[in-house]
Amino acid sequence: MEQPILEVEHLKKSYVSGTYVLEDISFSINKGEVVVIVGPSGCGKSTFLRCLNRLEEIDSGVLKLNGVSYEKEKKNISKVREKIGMVFQSYDLFPNMTIMNNLLLAPAKVQKKKKEEVRVEAERLLDRVGLLEKKDNYPRQLSGGQKQRVAIVRALLMHPEILLLDEITAALDPEMVREVLQVVLELAKTGMTMLIVTHEMEFARSVADRIIFMDKGYIVEENSPQEFFDHPQTDRAKQFLDSFHYEAVRK
């Protein structure tokens, strides 16, 4: 059987002692797979992604990257994080640096790569997301959607084995959502392994190999997009989908 890139066994997480935000999550994702997590606000989706990246400490459970557990890893945690890239709702570009310098920062500093080599790759990736001409601009000169595409390029430059996308279009105006989602769809076609949290149901349906529905700290359903959207199994999933007027995504 194929070795999953990422595996999670019985993950529990609380912020306040005795109240678990993640109750008992087990999950795995294979190379090249795109998994989308959906669920009501506050059900623990973002916490789950942050636990995977060890931005949050977990209470118990096992996290494995390529079969090697890393839930207790301290010394090499930055190496683990390089392999598990993450893009957030807020793009967090440095305002006083050009787009190119923002992109060169981490690969040069963290991975000790030669700037010139990274620059060539950064230009190629900027071109791919339609932003090559913005390389010498400052973040304030870009729209939210453009900044988010830069943030995706920044994550890709680290050559992650898996990308975690946490509601990356949630802060964008509707007309910019599509241009960012288009980049993610293209990435999926190139075989990038991705775990995506989104409220964009139509996008979820088109990009996902598998949908995970979370509620109250549990994975309640796990299915193909078609099955999940057309035949949700639980009342909770049905209610959730109804709240999105999901007729729009029923093909």
Q: How far is CA 48 from CA 137, 138, 178, in A?
A: 35, 33, 25
Cβ of residue 194: shortest distance to ligand ADP, in angstroms?
17
Max CA-CA distance within the chain? 55
Of the pair 21, 176, the CB lying nearest ligand ADP is at 21
In whole angstroms, the minimum distance from the beta carbon of 126 to ligand ADP comes to 30
Please, which residue, 40 or 144, has the CB nearer to ligand ADP? Answer: 40
Residue 71 or 123 having the CB closest to ligand ADP: 71
The least distance separating ligand ADP from the CB of residue 44, rounded to whole angstroms, comes to 5
Other beta carbons less than 10 A from residue 191's beta carbon: 10
Helix (H) or strand (E) holding 106: helix 99-109
**Judged by CB, which is closer to ligand ADP: 88, or 229?**
88
Separation CA 33–CA 6 (nearest Å) = 11
Identity of the residue, 88 or 91, whose beta carbon is nearer to ligand ADP in the bound complex: 88
Order across the sheet with 19-29: list the strands: 19-29, 6-16, 60-65, 68-69
212: helix, strand or coil: strand
Residues that bind ligand ADP (CB under 6 A): 15, 21, 39, 41-47
Q: Nearest approach, Cβ of 198 to ligand ADP (angstroms)?
A: 11
In angstroms, the Cα distances linking 113 to 65, 84, 110, 122, 156 are 23, 18, 8, 12, 14
Q: Find the shortest distance in angstroms from Cβ 144 to ligand ADP.
A: 20
Cα 154 from Cα 210, distance rounded (Å): 26
For the bound state, the minimum distance from the C-beta of residue 43 to ligand ADP, rounded and expressed in Å, comes to 4
Q: Which residue lies nearer to ligand ADP by CB, 19 or 190?
A: 19
The distance of closest approach from Cβ of residue 31 to ligand ADP in the complex, given in angstroms and rounded to an integer, is 25
Integer-rounded Cα radius of gyration of the chain: 18
Chain centre distance of CA 246 = 23
Give the DSSP letter of residue 111: S
Q: Which is nearer to ligand ADP, 43 or 219 (CB)?
A: 43
Burial classification of residue 123, based on how many CB atoms lie within 10 Å of its CB (0-12 exposed, 13-18 middle, 19 or more buried): middle
